[in-house]
Amino acid sequence: MKHIYAKMIILTLVLSILSIAFVVPASANGPIEHTKIQTGFTVDPNHPGTLIAKGSTIHHLTTGEVDIIGADGSINMIALQSQSNFVMTPFGLKKADTVYDIPNEAHIVPSADGHITKVLDENRQIFFTVIDDETLSQIAAQQNGNIIGTTYYTSASQFGGYFRVPAPPQNTSDTDYYWIGVQKGSCLGQTVLQWNQPGYSQEWTIANWANSGYGYYHGNMPQVFQNDVINSQLVYNASYSEWYVQGQDVTTGITASTAYVANMGETGDTIITSLETYNGLGQVVYTPADMPGSEYFYFLTLYLANGNYHSISWTLYNPYHIPTSTVQLTYGSNGDWVTYNTYH
């Protein structure tokens, strides 16, 4: 009998050891927890967005997975682009995992093919890196609300001007943008006056935005107030082949975070003024109630690549055929002012 009990005890111990040996941690077999990206990425805990550490790499895989990798090479976060929110931007409705909050004096430096973008700090040290394995055709195009504006194709070294903060739209849940910028190919640097930007509800803010590579980058978004005067200056730095973008509320002295956008030459540029209007669903709208108050861009100045001042011959851009009963554009003979007369 003692032998039977002894064998049973031994058998029980063996089974216990085997069960321990073959236990697999639940986390290895369980589903991976994905972080949902709500309003974009940020390294500043005081700004809206999904917080990442300085030195991180945001890697977009062709599978739709987005890996956030720490400076030590470890994966700190995994997201799925299919689960990311859509975010309103001056480039239209974009997936939040492609929107990045950048620090003041940041340098945005894309590779030649646009698949790798380095964001450098003011000392040109790595702040974070974005890698996109996708092709442009794999990134879903969203409707762009650039409903009306003026363009001029040139070779610029500097472009800038002033404008005022208007009345908000009657449909206060809309998101509206007035902006001034320089575009080269698919890269664009701009100073943007924003109504009801997500994260800054029911107020006017200014921000410097850029799209470069496969991402959309912006600095801080200080609040501004109706009738404040905004100054925007975009200046080409030939030493680094980059455009410097600065926007300031000259009434209060508040300056939006400045940015440098690289790989934008000073030949074959397009200078732009624009109005964009979206409803709460991110759809382009252009009834009178969707229009913000009238805008006046003035003291617009253009310097060519040779450093000489040059007059501007604006071309009207109106892809949605907005009637003049809703908004009418007029501009000076030498292009130094543009007026958006809205009727709301």
Q: Determine the topology of domain 146-342 in CATH.
A: Jelly Rolls (2.60.120)
Is residue 182 a contact partner of residue 243, using CB atoms and an 8 Å limit?
yes
Instruction: Report the predicted TM-score, pTM, of the whole model to 2 decimal places.
Output: 0.86
> What is the b/e burial string over 254-270, where b = at least 16 CB atoms within 10 angstroms of the residue's CB?
bbbbbbbbbbbbbeebb
Helix (H, G, I), strand (E, B) or coil at 300: strand
Is residue 180 a contact partner of residue 317, using CB atoms and an 8 Å limit?
no
What gap in Å lies between CA 120 and CA 114, rounded to an integer? Answer: 16
| Strand 65-69 versus strand 75-80 pairing type | antiparallel
Give the pLDDT of the chain (344 residues) as one tens digit per residue: 444 444 444 444 433 433 333 333 334 445 568 999 998 999 999 888 999 999 999 999 999 999 999 999 999 999 999 999 999 999 988 999 999 999 999 999 988 887 899 999 989 999 999 999 875 434 444 456 678 999 999 899 999 999 999 999 999 999 999 999 999 877 889 999 999 998 788 899 999 999 887 799 999 999 999 999 999 999 998 888 899 999 999 999 999 988 888 876 656 789 999 999 999 888 899 999 999 999 999 999 999 988 999 999 999 999 999 999 999 999 999 999 999 999 87
Cβ atoms < 10 Å from Cβ of 210: 27
What gap in Å lies between CA 29 and CA 82, rounded to an integer? Answer: 23
> Residue 286 contacts by C-beta under 8 Å, 6 or more apart in sequence?
147, 277, 320, 322, 326, 327
Domain boundaries, the chain: 41-133, 146-342
